[in-house]
Amino acid sequence: MRIATWNINSVRARAERARAVLERWDLDALLLQETKCTPAQFPREIFEEAGYEVACAGLNQWNGVAILSRVGIENVQVGFPGQPGFSKVDDDGALLSTPTVEARALGARLGTGPDAVNVWSLYIPNGRAYGDPHFHYKLEFLEALRASVRTRLSEEPDCPLLLAGDWNVAPRDTDVWDIDYFRNDVGVYVTAEERGALAALLEAGVEDITRAAEGADYTFWDYQRLRFPKNHGMRIDFGFASAALAARHTRSIIDRDERKGKGASDHVPVIMEFAN
């Protein structure tokens, strides 16, 4: 089975490119993040015509996740158990709204029999700035995900589980083009708190199967300041698999060429291959 994850940065703007990715890599499934639309707005026809079923979740023009599959989609779940919501606050920290569980996690079972895979398409919150309410939300989100994964794998140790998406964390200094720039000027992605939260998730029973991916060092290049031509990128898109699924993993590829040309997303697909 061949599964890819991709922050598409608006599926309506890049539906044709997404279909091309499906065809170019002969994908069995594509996990999308930042689709930026409601289910009613999702351009499902272009994918259904190509033989893919669609499951998606979205509340408005922000966030949004989806799963495209030609091997079936079952047990679709919007949001993982314990997923926190986000509440806007004023400058003094007072709540301005009730928590909203955003469209950042979509799970499903793909395939049948012993070859089936349980997948989650995940869009981890961007912390924005150190100490920002979104920063705390990000850490809370990762902790809740860790707890959910630990519970799932304790109940079903042999579960073939894949967590894939845009994690908005660079686990290693080499995952960003200039670590000093990120530490001094950006304030997120590389903090001890974010890295610690991601490490705790991995310790809950999943491993990074995309670390040795071929094709590129990074998965994201900002649109500003000629970041892509200069190769000033970040590696923040990953696939994490349970032991049962990691044993079936054969290779991963970062599709750097998808960042080229007019209308590209600022992220590129990460393709993961699994033996049957």
pLDDT one-digit tens code per residue, 124-181: 999 999 999 999 999 999 999 999 999 999 999 999 999 999 999 999 999 999 999 9
DSSP state of 186: I
Please state the residue numbers annotated as binding site for Mg(2+): 7, 34, 166, 168, 266-267
- The number of distinct structural domains making up the chain is 1
At CA 4, angle to CA 11 and CA 259, rounded to 5?
Answer: 60
Please state the residue numbers annotated as binding site: 7, 34, 166, 168, 266-267
- Active-site hit among 28, 166, 175, 255: 166
- In whole angstroms, give the CA distance from residue 256 to residue 263: 14
Strands of 2-7's sheet, edge to edge? 53-57, 65-69, 29-33, 2-7, 270-274, 249-254
Q: Which two tokens stand for residue 122?
A: 């995940």
pLDDT one-digit tens code per residue, 183-232: 887 779 999 999 999 999 999 999 999 999 999 999 999 999 999 999 99
Please check the confidence at residue 98 and state whether its pLDDT lies above 90: no
Residues 84, 144: contact at Cβ < 8 Å? yes
CATH (domain of 240): 3.60.10.10
Q: Which two tokens stand for residue 107?
A: 């799970």
**Quick one: which H or E segment has residue 19?**
helix 15-24
User: Would you call 267 a catalytic residue per the annotation?
Assistant: yes
Residue span of the structural domain in which 163 resides? 2-274
pLDDT band for position 90 (cuts 50, 70, 90)? low
- In whole angstroms, give the CA distance from residue 132 to residue 189: 13
pLDDT one-digit tens code per residue, 41-67: 999 999 999 999 999 999 999 999 999
Residues 6 or more apart whose CB falls under 8 angstroms from that of 77 comprise 106, 107, 108
User: Would you call 123 a catalytic residue per the annotation?
Assistant: yes
Secondary structure (DSSP) of 198-211: HHHHHHTTEEETTT
Q: Is the pTM of this model over 0.85?
A: yes
- Active-site hit among 28, 52, 123, 255: 123
User: Would you call 90 a catalytic residue per the annotation?
Assistant: no
- In whole angstroms, give the CA distance from residue 121 to residue 108: 9
pLDDT one-digit tens code per residue, 104-121: 999 999 999 989 999 999
